[in-house]
Structure 1
Amino acid sequence: MIVHVLDDTPTPDPADDPGPGETDAPEARATSDGVAGTPPLDADAATVLDPADDAVEDEGEDRPDVLVEPDLNAEPDLNEEPDVEVEPVEGGAAADGPAADVAQADAVPDDVTTPTLGTEVHDGSAPADAAAPAHSAPADAAAPAHSVPADDPVLSVASRPADELEESPEGEPDGFERPRPTPRALVLSFGMLAVSVLVGILAVVPAPYAVNGPGPTKDVLGEVDGTPLIEVDGAETFPSTGELLLTTISGTGGPGYPAYALNVLQGWFSPSSLVRPVEEVYPQDLTQEEIDESNAGQMVSSYENASVAALTELGYEVPATLVVAGTVEGTDAEGKLEEGDVLTALDGVALPDYQLLVERLEEVVPGDTVTLTVTRHSRALEVPVVTGEREDGGAQIGVFIDPSFDMPLDVSISIDGIGGPSAGTMFALGIVDLLTPEDEAAGQVIAGTGTIDVTGAVGPIGGIRQKLFGAVRDGATWFLAPAGNCEEVVGHVPDGLRVVEIATLHEAREAMTAIGAGTADDLPTCTAD
């Protein structure tokens, strides 16, 4: 350090050093940043003190003027020892460093003021790269409790003002060190990646299974795109306050709609879904177009049968032409009757409709011979046929009948996207409800399923368990189930749903009326017997 003395006053000899009461050195002061003490005279961060501003009266003697010449281009040496000694104030001993300064600061008289030379403080400490102010602590002094070490890259960046931070190209402050991931974090990351890859594979890999779940329901008394689902011309119709829901199933696994491994896993864990080998559900020799065409044909046949059965239930006569569509292999009719023959009588009794043919056969004992009157190429023929036995024990003549009906009313059903014969029973109930002035459903939501033939017999269907879940999902509290499905129903009825067993359209109509009237407690239900 270079010190120039501006007067001719000789440098005092150490032996002549005045006592505690006669010192010319300025006493310690507390600064705004908590660092107290006499400002160091540093070679690289010096300050010119104005004698007029820093004079201290002491026994009438003037303090000599001191000029410090700074080297503005030099780098600060933080390890250089300061040339200023701190002498003890009255009541204390001399000490070096900030500890002594802080101790002496408590003893500074209130009438003595340390000049402040424009020092700016940020967050309790000056910027690390700023020149040391005149009243800062010595470079080698211990940092105050709230200061930040200049060589700490993390803490020093955090303590610097936001406008002085420089960002790297990646958008992070210079000096910032990103923490390295722990082994646990690495394991979790790789585990999550593996699970994601596995789920992705399961979502795209086909599986040799068919998965069936609850499908949509439709209110046959409601509308589809603004058009009534059932319309009847030729008779008065009546409104209903209830709902009659036909139920469906949705399936994957058929041609054109493969089931993936993820679908199969979900189906196995879902109580409302059924997973079966695909060959048990879909014919393997048919295309999806052929399956859709078959389902559409079955739907048309179901609502034709429903119309005939409903009108017959209401007392209408529905004449029919009974056309032979083929014969059953191995029966006596094979080779005797031909496709296109029209049945007109059985044992001399005319057959104006299909229902009468069924009623006459119920009186025949299997194995008896009956005489069929047929019209072939405009000629009447009498053909004797030995009857066979149906699976249910009744007699059969061994022919397939494709009846052509002469409907007394024009009944149309509009529905798209749903195929198969299982909606026949609910279609028939809807027609009955529309053509009767009574409000049979009376505000109740009744779901159901089952095939139906022109005689009104209700047959079993597939997917009964999935349909139960679909019904309760869409608000139904009652379900009409075919008697042939009761074994599958028992033990699989969702909460909030009551099941009624039916075998005919007439039984279904009586059940609907009882539910609407609130007298359904005694209706038969499916049991384990």
Structure 2
Amino acid sequence: MRPSHDDSRTAAQGGPVSPAPGEFPVPAPQPDGSYSVYPYQGLGPGRPAPAKRTVRSRAMIVSGALAVVLGAAAVLLPAQYVVESPGPTFNTLGSAGDSEIIEIEGRRSYPTKGELDLTTVYVSGGPSTNISIFQAVGGWANNDDVVYPTEFLYAPGTTSDEVDEENAAAMTSSQESAVAAALTQLDIPFTQELTVAAVVEGSPAEGVLQAGDTVTAVGDTLIDGIDSLRAVLNDGGGSAAEITVRRDGNEVTESVTPRQSDSGVYQLGIELATSFEFPFEVSIGAGMEQVGGPSAGMMFALGIVDRLTPEPLTGGRHFAGTGTIDAAGNVGPIGGIRQKLIGASDAGAEYFLAPADNCGEVVGHIPDGLEVVKVSTLDEAVQAVEKLAAGGSAADLPQCTP
């Protein structure tokens, strides 16, 4: 946040101007009975104060007071804007405070070198904090910042507690997905379960499946993740599917006929939550309690891959990046990438790994000295880091182009 400044001014007020001796002209009476207005006060003994001057003076005092009140309100009341600024970076191979950002127990890990920075955006305003109009104007004037109307980022009525809870949940989910993606990349087996979080009203599953059901099989196909569920439903071509779920400790089989969506895939009409069981413990994010959201997923996954690989992945080079990740290793777009590019450059990064779906915002906003490589999957990110660490050129890797 930037300190506000006060552009208000106070005017020196002088006393009434006294006329020179002998300069007391008799005010000329007007048709309405009032007197002409003079550029000074006091018309001499026995001379009445001009009525028009009194009315005008009162109007000026009232309007001046109103201007002061409105000006103070503009300065003191919070502006309905959000300012995004470049935030700090965190090396996923290093530590935050007294703790390593990635800790692995129950499996051998290896020394690393170089940096794999996750990047952040500092957000001022919105439900969590208030900003003044001067801070909003300062954001517009600063090329490193972006200013949005509050309602562009937050639904009306959203509270700061709701924002904090959502960001914390997204961070936890991204960490679990990062572990799953890293283990998938390294061919280390693990298990995952799909649990019905909610049943969509009017969907094929309504009245058949229940929130809390864990999907274990469709027909004879065991379900070990969202990809296997999607595949078996699409292979069925819309025919009735025998869904086996674990419900209240018992296995139950229900028949549901999937419905084809506008995109051509077959769906049951349920919202799913994924839980994982890994063969060893991976703890992520110690010392980063103030960082939330899902956008660090890819960099967490890269850090885990490096820690579980005998040879250092980076070759001692300085990488930064951003992007969501799912258990299958797909990299997704994020917000605030312009500020993250600046933050990475300020931290001394040589290379930046950007989600392919963010390329439209990357073009034209790359800081001098920073080379950007676009990636769509964790595998592409790993290959890019390995090639650059070995002395390859970023120009030979996928780029964000106009």
TM beyond 0.5? yes
The one-letter code sitting in structure 2 at the alignment partner of 1:474 is A
Aligned partner of 1:293 among 136, 151, 165: 165
CA shift, 1:351, in A, is 1.5
SS in 2 for 1:491: coil
Deviations 1:420-440 (A, max 9, x none): 111111111100010001211
SS in 2 for 1:263: helix
Aligned partner of 1:281 among 144, 153, 156: 153
Is the strand fraction higher in 1 or 2? 2
1:370/1:501 CA distance change after superposition, 3 Å: farther
Deviations 1:103-133 (A, max 9, x none): xxxxxxxxxxxxxxxxxxxxxxxxxxxxxxx
CA shift, 1:524, in A, is 0.4
CA shift, 1:201, in A, is 8.5
Q: Give the TM-score normalised by structure 1.
A: 0.59
The one-letter code sitting in structure 2 at the alignment partner of 1:501 is K
Match of 1:524 in 2: 398
Aligned partner of 2:328 among 446, 455, 465: 455
State the number of aligned residues.
335
Q: How does 1:131-210 map to 2 (within 5 A)?
A: 193=9, 204-210=76-82
Match of 1:112 in 2: none
The answer to whether the 8 A contact 2:214-2:245 is kept is yes
Q: How does 1:442-521 map to 2 (within 5 A)?
A: 442-519=315-392, 520-521=394-395
Match of 1:426 in 2: 299
Rg larger for: 1
**Is the counterpart of residue 381 in structure 1 residue 259 in structure 2?**
no
Q: How does 1:7-406 map to 2 (within 5 A)?
A: 193=9, 204-360=76-232, 363=235, 367=238, 369-377=240-248, 378-389=250-261, 394-406=265-277
CA shift, 1:505, in A, is 1.1
Match of 1:410 in 2: 281
SS in 2 for 1:447: strand
The one-letter code sitting in structure 1 at the alignment partner of 2:87 is G
CA shift, 1:404, in A, is 2.3
Provide the rounded CA distance (Å) in 2 between the counterparts of 1:510 and 1:192. Answer: 57
Fraction of identical pairs, as percent: 45
SS in 2 for 1:455: coil
- In structure 1, stretches of 5+ residues that fail to align are 1-190
Provide the rounded CA distance (Å) in 1 between the counterparts of 2:314 and 2:75. Answer: 44
The answer to whether the 8 A contact 1:347-1:371 is kept is yes
1:347/1:527 CA distance change after superposition, 3 Å: farther
1:444/1:203 CA distance change after superposition, 3 Å: farther
Provide the rounded CA distance (Å) in 2 between the counterparts of 1:275 and 1:333. Answer: 43
Provide the rounded CA distance (Å) in 2 between the counterparts of 1:525 and 1:330. Answer: 44
- In structure 2, stretches of 5+ residues that fail to align are 1-6, 12-67
Provide the rounded CA distance (Å) in 2 between the counterparts of 1:406 and 1:509. Answer: 24
Higher relative contact order (CA 8 A, sep 6+): 2
Q: Give the TM-score normalised by structure 2.
A: 0.77
The answer to whether the 8 A contact 1:331-1:388 is kept is no
Provide the rounded CA distance (Å) in 2 between the counterparts of 1:271 and 1:355. Answer: 42
Provide the rounded CA distance (Å) in 2 between the counterparts of 1:425 and 1:328. Answer: 30
When the two chains are superposed, the root-mean-square deviation of aligned CA atoms in Å is: 2.5
1:315/1:278 CA distance change after superposition, 3 Å: same
